[in-house]
Structure 1
Amino acid sequence: EKPTLVLDMDETLIHAHKATASLKLFSGKILPLQRYLVAKRPGVDTFLNEMSQIYEIVVFTRAVKPYADRILDRLDPAGNLFTHRLYRDSCSPKEVGGRKVVKDLSRLGRDLRHTVIVDDKPESFCLQPSNGIVIRAFKNRKGHKYDELKKISNLLKEIARVEDVRQALEKLR
């Protein structure tokens, strides 16, 4: 049985930039149309393909389902990379800054000894901090070298078969 890799979406796998256009209607009201320009983190396709061979991949995002699914369908067009998708409504109601932001890994029903979460916000996995790997937020800025996925990929390969990922990650902290 494969271990479980839980991945955040925004600022971990992709960066979405809101491009807002406003239309003036005859009545004078302004109707905003929201479009998102989405950039994939460098190396994300290779990372997902490699990790899907070793791990069961679950995407756990704070985003709402309609927005997230449009992006995740592009990242996984064949539908064979992500085993499960969890959205904002699956986040726990622990208030951090007035929002439901906590991703409680115990709700996955997986053995936490074999579950790792990668997220750019450590507060997301504050209930199970020893299961988490913090990745630098991907903002798609020019001149920034975003090579973390390569490093994290090597780490994830290393700990995939250990008895308890929490102990393995603690040793590396």
Structure 2
Amino acid sequence: VYVLKRPYVDEFLQRMGEMFECVLFTASLSKYADPVTDLLDQCGIFRARLFRESCVFHQGCYVKDLSRLGRELHKTLILDNSPASYIFHPNNAVPVVSWFDDVDDAELLHLLPVFEELSKAENVYTHLDLLRGQ
């Protein structure tokens, strides 16, 4: 398996692991995503891995139902490039732009201060509403 890493992904994951309990939740099949995650997460940042079989098939899309994590939703975030993936929990979402191969991409670097603020929040909904200007 060959993995082209998004710029700053290693630094981003390291910092996320310091601030949060991180869980990989992907709509990909485990036979593909597990080896990719092994290469991506060599430091063991992800405490759990959830694959397509953990998603809910809803209106033609695989949706990540955050309630399946068994965590308090007002303290739970999802970082995802696909709004359809978090349609059940849009108020928990931090959207991220899709990435393919732009070596000058700095999206993850720009998101670090956002997550640093969110890590201090007792209620992520309040902070995310402020970030969205609501």
Normalization by structure 1: what TM-score?
Answer: 0.72
Q: Distance in 2 between matches of 1:148 and 1:166?
A: 22
- Rounded to whole Å, the distance in 2 between the matches of 1:124 and 1:170 is 20
CA distance in 1, matches of 2:125, 2:116: 15
Q: Going by fraction, where is helix more abundant, 1 or 2?
A: 2
Matching of residue 71 in structure 1 with residue 30 in structure 2 = no
Q: Distance in 2 between matches of 1:154 and 1:166?
A: 17
CA shift, 1:38, in A, is 2.2
The AA in structure 1 aligned to 2:121 is V
Give a deviation string over 1:132-168, Cα, whole Å, max 9, x none: 01100011146xx311111211100111121210111
Q: Secondary structure in 2 aligned to 1:58?
A: strand
Whole-angstrom distance in 1 between the partners of 2:113 and 2:130: 16
Asked if residue 86 in structure 1 is aligned to residue 50 in structure 2, the reply is: yes
Q: Which has the higher strand share?
A: 1
Secondary structure, counterpart of 2:77 in structure 1: strand
How far the C-alpha of 1:120 sits from its partner, in A, is 0.4
Stretches of structure 2 that go unaligned for 5 or more consecutive residues are: none
Task: Give the secondary-structure state (helix, strand or coil) at the position aligned to 1:85.
Answer: strand
Number of corresponding residues: 132
Report if aligned partners of 2:3, 2:39 keep a CA contact under 8 Å in 1. Answer: no
Stretches of structure 1 that go unaligned for 5 or more consecutive residues are: 1-35
Runs of at least 4 residues of structure 1 off by over 3 A?
A: none
Shift of 1:172: 0.9
SS of equivalent residue, structure 1 residue 137: coil
In 2: Cα distance, 1:37 partner to 1:140 partner: 13
> Which residue of the partner structure matches residue 49 of structure 1?
14
Report how far residue 77 of structure 1 moved: 2.3
Q: Identity percentage over the alignment? A: 39
Q: Deviations over 1:60-85 (max 9, x none)?
A: 0111111111111111224x211010
Counterpart of 2:66 in structure 1 is: 105
- Show the counterpart of 1:153: 112
The SS at the match of 1:39 is coil
> Deviation digits for residues 114-137 of structure 1, max 9, x if unmatched?
111000001111111010011000
Number of the residue aligned with 1:165: 124
1:60 aligns to what?
25
